[in-house]
Amino acid sequence: MALGLGIFSGQVAKPERVQAAEKTYTIAMDTTFPPFEFADKNNKRVGIDIDLIRAIAKAEGFKVQLKATSFNGAVQELQANQVDGVMAGMSITPERKKVFAFSDPYYQSGVVMAVAKKGHITKLSQLRGKRVAVKTGTASADYANSSKKKYGFKTVTFDDSNNVYQDVISGNSAACFEDKPVMQYAIATGLGLKLGNMKMAMANDYGIAVSKSNPELVKKINAGLKKVRKSGEYTKIVEKYLGNGSQADTDKKAKETNDTSSTFMGLLKSNWGTLMSGLGETIQLTVVGILCATIVGVLIGLLGVVPNKIAQGTATTFIYIFRGLPLMVLALFIYTGVPMVIGTKIPAFVAGIVTLTLNEGAYTAAFVKGGINSVDVGQMEAARSLGLPWGKAMRRVILPQGLRIMVPSFINQFIITLKDTSILSILGLMELTQTGKIIIARNMEGFKIWTMVALIYLIIITLLTWLSNWVQRRVHA
């Protein structure tokens, strides 16, 4: 799976290691993989993986910058050299060792089956003809796909753990497969699932994946892991979250990090700061994205009405390509695809802005072009007959009239951009949707948290809709 959020820095162990401490490595982690990485009741990023990598960094005198994303996204980012490593409950397999270098194992796990708490299914043999939910790219997904022919079930794949669990709780899937400690912890938080009657399968070791071109980091991680194990700190970290490994002790540890209140208002109060932080990132992405998209869109739109076939063809091609590509595909192409070609990292925020600029810019260009073309052709003919050149006629006669038509569309595009930022959570950006996922990973209160997120979006979009209607009335008054 994968880890956490934001930026966490390890401490310099000794003064004489100042030079080594200046080296910072970016480690990608899953946002929804408790107890290895999640946000506690104080919305502080914690977990076995987070504490362990910080301890390793401290022992070896380097710094780590942790980046939250999905497990599948983390793997793609490492392949694109956007990050230096992945620490996300990642099982060491022969297939993965062909692509990445791995640290020494730091935890042993295995796959178990979970079913609805009040359901009748408890055994693998009862899954015939049923649907099983799994998480993209995980060992549990590999186990499910290797067993579905034998037991006669089909699989459905999700990008995060909460959606996997909720698909079973809602009855859409009969069961799910997950790593044992993760499933134990989820059940301890009050998740409406229970373990099925299945022995732990595919015993596997977790390791930290690193690019094969970075053997230096593997050596540092292994050396630090040995020191942390020897000092006893490793045992303290694991017991902090899982106790002695029994379900009863896991229940106890989970209650210490979970929300004290499960009421709607209690959850809203305890997570208000996190939600507002995500909203701030969403607004920032929206404002910067719409400004850049407007500039690009206006230029391309004007290019589309220039009396030149090459210019018009360029504008038409731009609009066709970037309006036709799904936003998620475009975002992943820019963030993980382009760096593999140019050999340079692209920050997630920059990739998000470029994505919005190209996609929203294409839509803006389309209505700018349409707005100008909707002005009566006689206006241009009259201006030209008075001796005005094309450019001056466009600037003084056509554009002022076209803008009256376009203004409401600009505001509507702002609303669309605001909603589209939610897709950028795939890049690990801590916008509103991503913060919702982080909160749910801890308390498993998916319905209540998503209701809060939906209401926040709805309130802002309602205000913008009122603004749009007011502007339209003023423009056409």
pLDDT, tens only, 124-155: 999 999 999 999 888 899 999 999 999 999 99
Amino acid present at 143 = Y
245 pLDDT tier (thresholds 50, 70, 90): low
359-417 pLDDT, tens per residue?
A: 999 999 998 888 777 777 777 767 777 777 777 777 777 777 767 767 777 778 888 89
Cα-based distances in Å from 399 to 291, 303, 364, 365, 385: 19, 13, 15, 14, 18
- pLDDT in the model for residue 16: 41
Domains and CATH numbers, the chain: 15-106+207-256 (3.40.190.10), 108-204 (3.40.190.10), 264-475 (1.10.3720.10)
Cβ(27)–Cβ(51) under 8 Å?
A: no
Contact yes or no for 189/114 (Cβ under 8 A): no
Picking from 292, 329, 305, the residue whose alpha carbon sits closest to that of residue 414 is 292
ω into residue 35 within 30 of 0, thus cis? yes
Task: Identify the band that residue 33 occupies on the pLDDT scale cut at 50, 70 and 90.
Answer: confident
Model pLDDT, residue 445: 79
What pLDDT digit, counting tens, does each position of 157-178 carry?
998 888 899 899 999 999 999 9
pLDDT tens-digit profile of 410-445?
778 888 899 999 999 888 888 999 888 888 877 777
pLDDT at position 4 over 60: no
* Of residues 69, 51, 221, the one with CA closest to residue 137: 69
pLDDT at 22: 63
Among residues 360, 362, 359, which one has the least CA distance to residue 314?
362
* Alpha helix segments (H runs only) across 80-157: 94-97, 139-151
pLDDT value at residue 251: 59
Q: How far is CA 159 from CA 73, 163, 447, in A?
A: 9, 8, 18
pLDDT at 411: 79
* DSSP letters for 17-65: GHHHHT-EEEEEEESSBTTTBEE-TT--EE-HHHHHHHHHHHHHT-EEE
CA atoms within 13 A on the CB side of 292: 18
Q: What is the pLDDT of residues 178-235, one digit of tens each?
A: 999 888 888 887 788 999 988 888 888 999 999 999 999 999 999 999 999 999 999 9
**Residue environment code for 59-88, b if the CB has 16+ CB neighbours within 10 A, otherwise e:** bbbbbbbbbbbbbbbbbbbbbbbbbbbbbb
10 pLDDT exceeds 50?
Answer: no
| Residue-level pLDDT at 254 | 59
pLDDT confidence of 112, banded at 50, 70, 90? very high
Neighbours of 271 (CB within 10 A): 26
Contact 16, 71 (CB under 8 A): no
| Rounded-to-integer distance, Cα 141 and Cα 286, Å | 35
How confident is the model at residue 365, as a pLDDT? 92
Q: What is the residue whose two structure tokens read 């869109």? A: 297
3-state secondary structure of 219: helix
Under a CB-based contact definition with an 8 Å cutoff, are residues 450 and 439 in contact? no
Residues 63-111 pLDDT 10s: 999 988 888 888 989 998 899 999 998 999 899 999 999 999 999 999 9
Sign of torsion over alpha carbons 179, 7, 63, 212: positive
Tokens of residue 314, six digits: 């360029």
Q: Give residue-wise pLDDT tens across range 283-342.
A: 999 999 999 999 999 899 889 888 889 999 999 999 999 999 999 999 999 998 898 888
Higher pLDDT, 475 or 61: 61
Question: Which 8-state DSSP code applies to residue 304?
Answer: T
Q: Would the pLDDT of 253 be above 70?
A: no
pLDDT tens column, 457-475: 999 999 888 887 787 777 6
